[in-house]
Amino acid sequence: MVRKSALTVLSLGLLAAASPAAVPNVGSGTLQLAPRVPTPGLIDDLLGGITTEIGLLIKDILNGLKSAQSDELSSKPLTCLLGLDPCCKWYDVSAALTDLFKGANGQCTDLARGAVRFGFHDAGAWSESSPNGGADGSLMMDFGEENRPENNGLQTIRTTLRSVQAKFGVGYADLAQFAHNHATVTCPRGPRIRTFVGRKDATKAAPEGLLPDVHSPADTLIKLFEDKSFTPHDLAALVGAHTSAKQRFVDTAQANKPMDTTPGVWDVEFYNETLHPPANGEIFVLPSDQVLSKHPRVEDEWKEFVGDQRHWNEDYAKAWVRMSLLGVGKSELGGLKECTRALPAAVPV
Ligand code: HEM
């Protein structure tokens, strides 16, 4: 674990200091200097020609040249007294989320699993040809997306995150993704995913029909994710988030059943237990997970994740960095800031 001394962070912070006006929306929901300009198209293409340090880092992560996880950690730097660090508010948000996401038993809470799903339903409502949608905070904002049937069950975490937003004045789009990344690392064994801020908030609702249906055939699900630039391999990694999940609406007679035997821990039991559910019926296997786990384009990867936490965490983190940037415009991408250091430390078990 790399801990920076307050002095180092102070000097780095001063060197890298940017005026808030030059960093629209970083750390603030009120600093929207220009409306969001959504850019249809794949992030890999949008990154072409971007030469900022952050743009190059994101490129390297997406190309597998750099890890999508980081254990860089610091306490709130002294530069925050002068408001000079773009991550200042995120240290405060992080402390508030820890209270909500970490249970007394050290495992992650219902709100944490809600935040993981929320980050997906906000960012994932996007496709290559979408004029809007993606990681833009629209699900947290006042566009009525919370009333769509596919977002059933997300109302409580949405209300909770809206109060965090109101308290700290951060952007909706960034908060949805920061909360996802905070939740995964709060779950024991969860990845500490590189976390970027500086997205612009939505000006419209996301298009409908772009989130997966639990009863769809595997080919339909694979195509839906390919249209968002995820390979079947990425999809196998992403649905592993059901390691921390419970279902309430697929079968209301079995409401609150978890999708693996350890929903408070971000482990790989989900992969094995989807293939071989315990006979006592203690878990609920989603029809979509069942068909994906046996599909020829997914099954090899699925089996590779069984018993291999390190492999899954890295693949999940890499796919999530892509997810967390869907729909983010070319003009925003090069100016993002990394605030991973404001997340809590990972919890190995
Ligand atoms: C094929 C793709 C997917 C399908 C069909 C799907 C479907 C579902 C369904 C039906 C539920 C249960 C909702 C309820 O009844 O309460 C659920 C829960 C959940 N999903 Fe997914 N999902 C998919 C992918 C993902 C991805 C990519 C993520 C995150 C990366 C994710 C994270 C979660 C979480 C954390 C929960 C539990 C929420 C809670 O317990 O409150 N899912 N999903």
Per-residue pLDDT of the chain (349 residues; tens, 9 = 90+): 333 333 333 333 333 333 332 333 333 333 344 455 555 568 888 888 888 999 999 999 999 999 999 999 999 999 999 988 999 999 999 999 999 999 999 999 999 999 999 999 999 999 988 889 999 999 999 999 999 999 999 999 999 999 999 999 999 999 999 999 999 999 999 999 999 999 999 999 999 999 999 999 999 999 999 999 999 999 999 999 999 999 999 999 999 999 999 999 999 999 999 999 999 999 999 999 999 999 999 999 999 999 999 999 999 999 999 999 999 988 899 999 999 999 999 998 6
Beta-carbon contacts of residue 61 (< 8 Å; ≥ 6 apart): 67, 68, 194, 318, 321
Which pLDDT does position 252 carry in this prediction? 97
Q: 218-317 is classed in which CATH architecture?
A: Orthogonal Bundle (1.10)
Domain ranges for the chain, please list them.
38-209+324-342, 218-317
Ligand 1 mean position, distance from CA 289 (Å): 10
Output the residue whose Cα is nearest ligand 1's atom 37: 245
Annotated binding site for heme b: 242
Strand segments (E) across the chain: 2-3, 72-73, 196-197, 246-247, 257-258, 337-338
The three-class DSSP label of residue 296 is coil
Among the four given CATH numbers 3.60.20.10, 1.10.3720.10, 1.10.520.10, 2.40.30.170, the one describing domain 38-209+324-342:
1.10.520.10
Ligand 1 mean position, distance from CA 242 (Å): 6
pTM of the model: 0.91
- How many angstroms separate the CA atoms of 27 and 253, rounded? 42
Q: Judge residue 280's burial from the number of C-beta atoms within 10 Å of its C-beta, 0-12 exposed, 13-18 middle, 19 or more buried.
A: exposed
Output the residue whose Cα is nearest ligand 1's atom 41: 114
Ligand 1: which residues within 6 Å by Cβ? 113-114, 116-117, 120, 153, 212, 214, 221, 238-239, 241-242, 244-250, 286, 288
Ligand 1 mean position, distance from CA 44 (Å): 26
Ligand 1 mean position, distance from CA 129 (Å): 24
Q: Please name which of 280, 121, 289 lies closest in space to residue 113, comparing C-alpha atoms.
A: 121
Pairing relationship of beta strands 72-73 and 2-3 according to DSSP bridges: parallel
Annotated binding site: 122, 134, 136, 138, 242-243, 260, 262, 267
